[in-house]
Amino acid sequence: MIRKQIEKLLNGAAKIEDMPEKFSVSFSAMPGLCDFQSNSAFALAKELKSNPFDLANKIVSDLQGNDMFEFSVARPAFINVKLTDKGISHLAKEIANGKLPQPGEGKSLYIDYGGPNIGKAMHIGHMRSFNIGEAFKRLYKKLGYNVISDIFLGDWGMPMGLIMAELEFEGTLDEYISGERELSLAVMNEAYPKGSKRKAEDETFKARAEELTLSFQKKKEPYYGFWKRLRDVSVSEIKRVCTLINVDFDLWNGESSATDYVETVLDIFKFKNLATLSDGALIVEVAEEGEQIPIPKKSPDEVQRYENPMPPLILQKSNGGDMYATADIATIYMRNLNYKPDIIHYFTDVRQKQRFVQIFRACKKAGISFEGQELWHTGFGTINGKDGKALKTRDGGNMQLLDLLNMLYEKAEERLISNGTNFDSDLKRKIGNAALKFADLSNSVEKDYSFDIDRMLSFEGKTGPYIQYTACRIKSILAKAGRFKDNFNFLQEHRAVVLELNKLWSSYMTSFTEKSLNSLCAALFNTASAFSSFYNSCHILSEEDEKKKSAHLTLLKLVLSSLEEGCEILGIEVPEKM
Ligand code: ARG
């Protein structure tokens, strides 16, 4: 907003020279020197064949005496802009009363994230999908989209067949089916790894597990009914974990939800002559012309060779079993039948990237995704331990999502105890989550990164708990201050904080366009630390000048609501005290 205002002034001043309007303004690259800057004089002077420094000076001299901005020129021809007291106050008021841009107005967006597989313990990758997807869901709502969220459970594959086969092998399956034995999460958690191991060693067992999988996929009883019960047990556990990490969904659909449309979808591909048989499997070609990927030459005179273009997508296995991709395609068909969203946005591990390109192309080819509908996929990188290797538990096992959460909550509790804080049992959860989410979302989305649990739980530095702590500190000052009247007559001492608030404000749109929340995280941190410097250099509660004091408190209120708003998007809960 404010940058647009400055651009307008510069363009207005430039007009006296009869120049084309094209000034652009950015945040200052040297915050000590100025608040905003424009480098446009260089290009303009070139166009006018004049001297850039003289040109910049001419424009600036025309803008002297503006009561909100101080303009100056720095060699070779930068135009620097500094806010006056009035400019600071004006900007702060704009931030307090402004509304974010609404690119989503009138648009519906269906968001697909999480995707845990039932019957198996959730792993760390699912946590990333939960964190990132949940934050985007909240951001999209804020930017005006009409959002529907769907967890898209992996509920139609082999794990459930393996559990059934394992129980059958152990001779208890019938009793679980009849209800003589009680089915629980513990039973599933024990049977799955055992079955999975047995499958690798025993061909007959593997074949039986596949047969059972096919049975419930074909809705054969009693397996289909038993599958439903396995699903219910698993889903209630997934819901419990989602509540723990402040994630929720409108829809709890899964790969199974669209099975009734699989036939229809296969028919569409066949009818439109898009499907072909290959070794008994039904496939659809999705490569596009001219899309070959060049293979690097070993020597300069070697003939250029190309890698296989985008491989075809398998719609149906030769045994007639459904494929994961077909489940996704049938799901798009179903979503369009029910909601016709303008956009569908998926969040998965980056290794599924090609798979989504194939699915999207297949849907566009077959008209299953209507013209104009946008299909987006965001892939995220892998998390490793400090040593760059996969995260392990204390006893050396692969770290699952719940192991990680418990570890974080435990460490958060240790920290609270060592700080001597009085706390309720929910506080460690909020702090642990904040540490996790902030660390996770601070990294640009597609990159792999390493996890340093002790560092991300610190109450100082670029961490979630630091942001929470800052917000709590402000809450306590405001509580002590009691009632006051808002006073937006800000001074130079408020400038740094107001400028960070302004950047925080624009980081919402940056995160949106980049499809990565790292800029919002960075802006939250910069706001919190600008506040800390302000707090250290200025005595807020003991300020004797009442006007000054109420301006300080007004700024604090604005910082608090801005931090809370940002935390809300990231899914971080701000406690009352910590
Ligand atoms: N269940 C999948 C997995 O664990 C993730 C699901 C991703 N979403 C989707 N629509 N395919 O890898």
- CA 328 – CA 315 distance, rounded (Å): 10
Ligand 1 center–CA 113 separation, angstroms? 8
From CA 137, how far away is CA 575, in angstroms rounded?
A: 22
Instruction: Report which protein residue has its CA nearest ligand 1's atom 11.
Output: 328
How far apart CA 404 and CA 431 sit, in angstroms, is 14
**Residue whose CA is at the smallest distance from ligand 1 atom 2:** 115
What is the overall mean pLDDT for the chain? 92
Q: Measure 153 CA to ligand 1 centroid, in angstroms.
A: 7
What pLDDT digit, counting tens, does each position of 20-53 carry?
668 899 999 988 889 999 999 888 888 888 888 9
Which of 110, 117, 348 best tests ligand 1's pocket when mutated (most atoms within 8 Å of CB)? Answer: 348
* Higher-scoring residue by pLDDT: 296, 565: 565
Q: Ligand 1, atom 6: nearest CA belongs to which residue?
A: 115
Mean pLDDT of the 117-123 span: 88
Per-residue DSSP letters for 157-168? SHHHHHHHHHHH
166 CA from centroid of ligand 1 (Å): 24
Instruction: State which of 231, 322, 349, 352 you would mutate to test the pocket of ligand 1, scoring each by most atoms of that ligand within 8 A of its C-beta.
Output: 352
Rounded to the nearest angstrom, the distance between the alpha carbon of 152 and the centre of ligand 1 is: 7
CB neighbour list of residue 415: distance below 8 Å, 6 or more residues apart: 431, 457, 459
What is the 325 CA–ligand 1 centroid distance (Å)? 10
Q: Name 27's bridge partners.
A: 36
Give the position, in ligand 1's atom list, of the atom nearest the Cα of 348: 7
Angle, alpha carbons 162-168-174 (nearest 5°): 125
Index of the ligand 1 atom closest to the CA of residue 356: 11
Mutate to test the pocket of ligand 1, among 111, 150, 152 (most ligand atoms within 8 A of CB): 152
Sign of CA dihedral 507, 513, 519, 520: positive
pLDDT of residue 121: 85
Q: Which residues line ligand 1 (CB under 6 A)?
A: 112, 115, 117, 152, 154, 328, 346, 348
Its pTM stands at 0.92
Report pLDDT for 414: 92
* pLDDT tens figures, 139-170: 999 999 999 999 999 999 889 999 999 999 99
Instruction: Report the percent of the chain where pLDDT is more than 90.
Output: 72
Q: Do the Cβ atoms of 571 and 437 come closer than 8 Å?
A: yes
Q: What residues does 375 pair with on adjacent strands? A: 344
506/512 Cα distance (integer angstroms): 10
**Tens-digit pLDDT profile for residues 197-256:** 999 999 999 999 999 999 999 899 999 999 999 999 999 999 999 999 999 999 999 999
Whole-number Å distance, alpha carbon 116 to ligand 1 midpoint, is: 7
Residue 16 banded pLDDT, cuts 50, 70, 90: low
Mean pLDDT of 354-376: 96
192 phi, psi to nearest 5 deg:
-60, -55
Task: Reply yes or no on whether the pLDDT at 173 is more than 70.
Answer: yes
Q: Which helix (H) or strand (E) holds 36?
A: strand 36-38
pLDDT at 18: 64
Cβ-proximal residues to 418 (8 Å cutoff; 6+ apart), any chain: none
For residue range 434-468, list pLDDT tens digits in order.
Answer: 999 999 999 988 888 888 888 999 989 999 999 99
In ligand 1, the atom with minimum distance to the C-alpha of 324 is 11
pLDDT greater than 80 at residue 17: no
- pLDDT of res. 21: 64
Contact 468, 431 (CB under 8 A): yes
Helix, coil or strand: residue 96: helix
Going 385 to 390 to 391 to 392, the CA torsion angle's sign is negative
Half-sphere exposure of 547 (CA within 13 A, CB side): 4
pLDDT for the residue 125: 83
Token output for 132? 């990132």
Q: Whose CA is nearest to atom 3 of ligand 1?
A: 115
Summarize pLDDT for 491-501 with one digit per residue, the tens: 999 999 999 99
| pLDDT score recorded for residue 302 | 83
pLDDT in tens, 388-422: 777 777 777 778 899 999 999 999 999 999 888 87
Taking residues 354-363, what's their average pLDDT?
Answer: 96
Q: Kindly give the distance from the C-alpha atom of residue 314 to the centroid of ligand 1, in angstroms, as a whole number.
A: 17
The answer to whether the beta carbons of residues 509 and 100 sit under 8 Å apart is yes
- The C-alpha atoms of residue 301 and residue 287 are separated, in whole angstroms, by 28
Q: Smallest Cα–Cα separation from 560: which of 490, 466, 442, 472?
A: 472
- For residues 551 and 490, the answer to whether their CB atoms sit within 8 Å is yes
pLDDT of res. 532 = 96
Task: Pick the closest to residue 504 from 436, 567, 441 (CA basis).
Answer: 567
Mean local confidence (pLDDT), 254-269:
94
Cα 517 to averaged position of ligand 1 atoms, centre (Å): 21
Residue 348 CA, ligand 1 centroid: distance in Å: 6
Residue 20's pLDDT is what?
A: 62
pLDDT at 396: 75
pLDDT at res. 43: 86
Residue 108 Cα, ligand 1 centroid: separation in angstroms?
22
Q: Which atom of ligand 1 is nearest to the CA of 355?
A: 11
Instruction: Determine which residue's CA is closest to atom 12 belonging to ligand 1.
Output: 115
- pLDDT at res. 244: 96
At 287, is the secondary structure helix, strand, or coil?
coil
In the sheet where 343-349 sits, what is the strand order? 146-150, 108-112, 343-349, 374-380
Cα 126 to ligand 1 centroid, rounded to whole Å: 9
Q: Whose CA is nearest to atom 5 of ligand 1?
A: 115
